[in-house]
Each structure stands twice: as structure tokens, then as C-alpha cells.
């Protein structure tokens, strides 16, 4: 009965991941993820996290994060299995993973274990050089970049639940490590949603008073911000439609840590920080992307030196886009 129950849970979880990704898996892909779920469930049986919840919830959440990033089935499977060797009390070995899932998945699982074993000294002098060295070490150890994606998803869920860690010193260390090591790596890989959330979660631990102050101030300006963002999006949408360009227009507000850093760097109060809104246009091909850039600059004048061409020079993860900062009709910067 227990085996049937785990299998049923596995099938339901595969359906959930397919929903997150936005498309169905092939049967062989379903079988692979389902098998990983069963192995992970048995490996972590009886184990609990600091929160008191079953340990299996952690690899499940890692798999969800990877699915939301659009990662392939092999990476999602490795995400489910990433702790089975290190945290199974000897129930599962790396050889077991090789036999059951093959060398490709086993290499990712082993890579995550090795990267996790690095304990970088954070908060020391000569910070920039030290951080760059550690980032290179992380990236070099992960010959397969999928190792880094799994590790980032692992760290993100651990930071989402860090409030359950009782050791305050350990909590602050993990937050500082996240801010100095993991968030910059996410930035290098172009995973801005992960970078922003990691920074905000670390910011909340390291500077709780400033975090909650900003959260309150941002909430107070919410209606005004949403109205301004919608206005910019509507202006851009109308201009693109006038030129016969189809685009998905999105708007977002800068995250708390980014705002706080701007305040510190510029020595300004929250009310004096204006470049807090970003608008994005997603189009079908590269030529259209450059056309949109020209249209944006015909609406709002660009700030000199703030154009970045990630199409001509893509990021290491293949991320391609054009970035510009313009001055709007209200005299405020808009990215």
C-alpha cells in the first residue's frame, strides 16, 4: 500500500511540474521523474527539516523552481535527487544513482555535492577579488552548468525557509554567502528573478529594520507606482502597434535590496530615488528587437552609455536582449 501511495504521489507531482513548465512530458520523461521521486522519497524517509516538515519537501521545491526556469527533464530529475547521496544516511550511494539513472544525472548530483562542500570565507577584506575567485571556483567545479542551476534552486529554497534556522550566526553567514556568492552567480547567468529574490531574502536577514522600512514605503507608493508603470506600458504598446509590431509588454518594480543599494550609493532618501521601474518588450526575432529599441528611443531620449547589447554579446547562459535606460516625460529614468 505504501509503495502504491508513493507512486500515486509521484504521478501527481509529475503533473504539477508539467503544469509549471506549461507543456506535457513525454512518457519516458514522466517515467524518469516519477522514478526519481520514488527514490528520493525512500532515501529521505523519516527525515525532517528545521521547519519540522518532511525532508522530501525540499527536493520537490527545488524541482519546482527548476521547472519554472524552463530547465530540461534531466536537470529537474537531478534536482529531485540532489540530496540523496549526501542526506540519506547511507541509503543511496552515487553508484546507485549511476545504476538507476545513468552517468549524466549522476554527474550533476555529484557536482552539486562537491559545490556544496565549498565553505567560502565571507565578510573578509579584499572582498572583490575574493568573491571573484570563489565564483570562478564554483563555475570551474561545475563542468556542467546544470550543476549551478540545481545549486541555485537549492539555495533559493533554503533561503525561503531560513527563518527556521535557530542558530543566528549560521543564519547570518548563509545570508552573507547568498548575497556575496550566489546572487552574483545568478546575475552572471542572467537569471534575474532568482538573483532578485536571493538578494531580498538575504537583505531581510542581514538588515531586517531597513528591509521592513522599505517594504512599508514601497507598499505606500504601490498605487502610484502601478499607475505609472501601466502608463509607460500603454505608451510603448501603442507605439509598437503603430509600427505593426507584436510584442508582449511587461512591467516590474525594482526589488528591495536594489532600492536600498541605490539609496546607500547615492546618499538619498527613498523619496529621492526615481529609477525604480523597468519595462520589457518580448518580440519574435532579433531584427524586431533592434526595431523596438529605435522606437523606444523615439519616444523617450536614451541616457548616454546605458545601452547594453546582449544580442551581439550574449551572456554565458545564452541570454539575449537589448537593455537601455531612457528619460521619461516625468524626467525619471526608465529601464
Contact 214, 256 (CB under 8 A): yes
Q: Is 240 found in the same domain as 137?
A: no
130 is in which domain, residue-wise? 2-206
In this structure, are 36 and 67 located in the same domain?
Answer: yes
Examine the domain organization and report whether 19 and 87 are in the same domain.
yes
291 and 196 share a domain? Answer: no
Which residue intervals of 57-126 are DSSP H helices?
57-68, 73-81, 94-101, 103-116
* CA separation for the pair 248, 277 (Å, rounded): 17
- Quick one: 256 and 328 in the same domain? yes
Query: What is the grid cell recorded at 81?
Result: 535527487
Give the model confidence (pLDDT) of 90-142 as tens digits. Answer: 889 999 999 999 999 999 999 888 877 766 666 545 556 656 666 666 665 55
Q: Indicate the residue among 206, 229, 258 that finishes a domain.
A: 206
HSE, CB side, 13 Å, CA atoms: give it for residue 88.
21
Residue 177 among the catalytic residues: no
Most confident segment among 53-62, 225-234, 301-310: 53-62
CA distance 179 to 255: 14
The residue-averaged pLDDT of 260-271 equals 88
Percent of the chain having pLDDT more than 90?
60
Among 206, 235, 269, residue at a domain's last position: 206
- What is the band of 224 on the pLDDT scale with cuts at 50, 70, 90? confident
Q: What mean pLDDT, rounded, does the chain reach?
A: 89
Q: Which H helix or E strand runs over 226?
A: helix 222-242
> Do both 265 and 322 map to the same domain?
yes
Annotation says 200 is catalytic = no
Reported pTM:
0.84
- Say which CATH number the domain at 271 has: 3.30.460.10
> Catalytic pick from 11, 87, 309, 335?
87
Residue entry with cell 532600492: 259
Residues 176 and 317 in one domain: no
d(CA 36, CA 66) in angstroms, rounded, equals: 15
- In a shared domain, residues 32 and 159: yes
Q: Which of 45, 86, 309, 332 is catalytic?
A: 86
Residue predicted with more confidence, 160 or 266: 160
Q: How far apart are CA 40 and CA 96, in angstroms?
A: 12
* Tens of pLDDT, residues 34-76: 999 999 999 999 999 988 999 999 999 999 999 999 999 999 9
**How far are the Cα atoms of 34, 46, 59, 94, 134 from residue 151, in angstroms, in the given order?**
21, 24, 11, 17, 15
Comparison of pLDDT for 117 and 150, the residue scoring more = 150
Which residue among 157, 188, 206 closes a domain? 206
Residue 1 has pLDDT above 50, yes or no: no
Amino acid at each position: 500500500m505504501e509503495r502504491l501511495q508513493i507512486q500515486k504521489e509521484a504521478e501527481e507531482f509529475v503533473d504539477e511540474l508539467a503544469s509549471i513548465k506549461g507543456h506535457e512530458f513525454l512518457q519516458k520523461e514522466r517515467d524518469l521523474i516519477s522514478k526519481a521521486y520514488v527514490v528520493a522519497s525512500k532515501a529521505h524517509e523519516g527525515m525532517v527539516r528545521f521547519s519540522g516538515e518532511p525532508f522530501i519537501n525540499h527536493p520537490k521545491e527545488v524541482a519546482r523552481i527548476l521547472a519554472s526556469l524552463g530547465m530540461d527533464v534531466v536537470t529537474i530529475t537531478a534536482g529531485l535527487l540532489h540530496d540523496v547521496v549526501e542526506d540519506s544516511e547511507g541509503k543511496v550511494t552515487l553508484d546507485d544513482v549511476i545504476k538507476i539513472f545513468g552517468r549524466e544525472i549522476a554527474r550533476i548530483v555529484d557536482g552539486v555535492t562537491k559545490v556544496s562542500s565549498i565553505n567560502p570565507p565571507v565578510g573578509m577584506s579584499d572582498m572583490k577579488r575574493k568573491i571573484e575567485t570563489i565564483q570562478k571556483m564554483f563555475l570551474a567545479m561545475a563542468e556542467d552548468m546544470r550543476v549551478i542551476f540545481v545549486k541555485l534552486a537549492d539555495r533559493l529554497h533554503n533561503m525561503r525557509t531560513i527563518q527556521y534556522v535557530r542558530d543566528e550566526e549560521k543564519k547570518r553567514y548563509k545570508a552573507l554567502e547568498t548575497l556575496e556568492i550566489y546572487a552574483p552567480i545568478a546575475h552572471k547567468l542572467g537569471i534575474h528573478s532568482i538573483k532578485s529574490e536571493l538578494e531580498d531574502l538575504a537583505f531581510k536577514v542581514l538588515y531586517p529594520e531597513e528591509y521592513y522600512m522599505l517594504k512599508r514605503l514601497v507598499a505606500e507608493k504601490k498605487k502610484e507606482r502601478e499607475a505609472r508603470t501601466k502608463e509607460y506600458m500603454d505608451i510603448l504598446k501603442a507605439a509598437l502597434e503603430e509600427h505593426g509590431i507584436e510584442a508582449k509588454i511587461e512591467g516590474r518594480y525594482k526589488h528591495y535590496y536594489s532600492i536600498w543599494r541605490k539609496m546607500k550609493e547615492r546618499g538619498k532618501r527613498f523619496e529621492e530615488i526615481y529609477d525604480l521601474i523597468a519595462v520589457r518588450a518580448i518580440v519574435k526575432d532579433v531584427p524586431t528587437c533592434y526595431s523596438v529599441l529605435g522606437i523606444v528611443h523615439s519616444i523617450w531620449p536614451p541616457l548616454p552609455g546605458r545601452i547594453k547589447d546582449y544580442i551581439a554579446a550574449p551572456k554565458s547562459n545564452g541570454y539575449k536582449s537589448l537593455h537601455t535606460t531612457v528619460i521619461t516625460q516625468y524626467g525619471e529614468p526608465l529601464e
